[in-house]
Amino acid sequence: MINVTRTFLPPIEEYQHHVQRAWDNQWLTNRGELVLELEENLKKYLAVTNIIVTNNGTIPLQIAVKLLANGGEIITTPFSYVATTAAIVWENCIPVFVDIHPDYLTIDETKIEAAITTKTTAILATHVFGNPCNVMVIEAIAKKHHLKVIYDGAHCFGVQYNGKSIFEYGDVSTCSFHATKLFHTGEGGAMFTNDKDLQQQLFYSHNFGHNGPLAFYGLGINGKMSELQAAMGLAILPYMETILTERKKVVAYYTTHLNFSKIKTFKLRDTTQWNYSYFPIIFETEEQLLRVEKVLNVNKIFPRRYFYPSLNTIEYTCGKVMPIAENISSCVLCLPLYAGLLELNLELIVSIINKYLK
């Protein structure tokens, strides 16, 4: 069976080494030695100013929306995983969708200003498949209209844009360390900001609002990463170059051997150092996609329809029609991509796609 991804697992002895440290410390949660070490190592690896690791990748979005959006309207993208929009609705804010760019697949920054109203308080945009939004234009719009900017960077571990980490942009940026991601802690995530005061708010918000054991800064929730999660991250981080090299080879194979006369993929934004996180192909029609997907499945190959459906069509969002997002959502398929994917399997995947495109 060839799935869309396969979780990278380090040698179990290396994971056990870090778990043993937690056992020796008799400390499994509440920001122990392993969590603190992981944060420091990630700051160096990612070249970021600040990081707070969390128990999953959705909590950072919810906390950021809670702190920055003030219950208002949030301009966002319909082409993302459901967690992006769910976080907005869960925090009693209103998602206002703006269509996406047909090539980059990120929010179309030229359409943002037309969606701003007196109730708009923030922009929540997704860097899609590790491809950055037009952060410079979004920042200028936000500054002009006094809006906060939150970036969903779930796919963006290790991505750099204009020579610096993608997590250095926006008021708050977030990442997912879910088991399906190229770097993971089983479940987990992180949030980033360059604002010291906001950093403090994010920190206490993910720890029940605590100011020491007996006092509180304010309202908070439990977003803390456990020592067992951190142990996985510490065991995987040394393998990142291997993981990226292997994924780059898979992307190169697809790029070289797929027949792009009837399909396309996204356009990578200039000055981006990409992380090879996903390889989406976009068919001319949904019928074509379904035909190819069916044959792949018969051969025990299981790509994934990221992202389907377009989020503006979900019942609880009540979104307006988004022609580009809805069209691409119905025609996009992410191909298997992970470290250790054999060339023999790649040959089979590509041959099926090329054959049934006709």
d(CA 142, CA 134): 12
Band of residue 174 on the pLDDT scale cut at 50, 70, 90: very high
- The whole-number pLDDT of residue 318 equals 84
- The whole-number pLDDT of residue 206 equals 97
- The whole-number pLDDT of residue 212 equals 84
- Joined together, the tokens standing for residue 106 give 């990120």
Q: What is the pLDDT of residues 76-109, one digit of tens each?
A: 999 999 999 999 999 999 999 999 999 999 999 9
- The whole-number pLDDT of residue 214 equals 87
- Joined together, the tokens standing for residue 206 give 């993910």
- The whole-number pLDDT of residue 213 equals 86
Q: What is the mean pLDDT of residues 11-33?
A: 97
Does residue 18 surpass a pLDDT of 80? yes
Please report, for residues 109, 251, 259, 272, the alpha-carbon distance to residue 244 in angstroms, rounded to integers and kept in the order given: 30, 10, 24, 15
Cα radius of gyration rounded to whole Å, the chain: 21
- The whole-number pLDDT of residue 358 equals 76
Q: What is the pLDDT of residues 175-225, one digit of tens each?
A: 999 999 999 999 999 999 999 999 999 999 999 999 888 888 999 999 999
- The whole-number pLDDT of residue 122 equals 98
Q: What is the pLDDT of residues 264-304, one digit of tens each?
A: 999 999 999 999 999 999 999 999 999 999 999 999 999 99
Does residue 314 surpass a pLDDT of 90? yes
Cis omega before residue 309 (within 30°)? Answer: yes
- The whole-number pLDDT of residue 247 equals 98
Question: Which domains can be identified in the chain, with CATH numbers?
Answer: 2-98+106-238 (3.40.640.10), 239-356 (3.90.1150.10)
Of 133, 45, 162, 105, nearest to 279 (Cα)?
105
User: Do residues 353 and 262 lie in contact, with contact meaning Cβ atoms separated by under 8 Å?
Assistant: no
What's the predicted TM-score (pTM) here? 0.97
Q: What is the pLDDT of residues 125-165, one digit of tens each?
A: 999 999 999 999 999 999 999 999 999 999 999 999 999 99
CA dihedral 35, 38, 39, 40 (to 10 degrees): 130
Mean pLDDT of the chain: 97
- The whole-number pLDDT of residue 311 equals 98
Q: What is the pLDDT of residues 212-247, one digit of tens each?
A: 888 889 999 999 999 999 999 999 999 999 999 999
- Joined together, the tokens standing for residue 140 give 């200028």
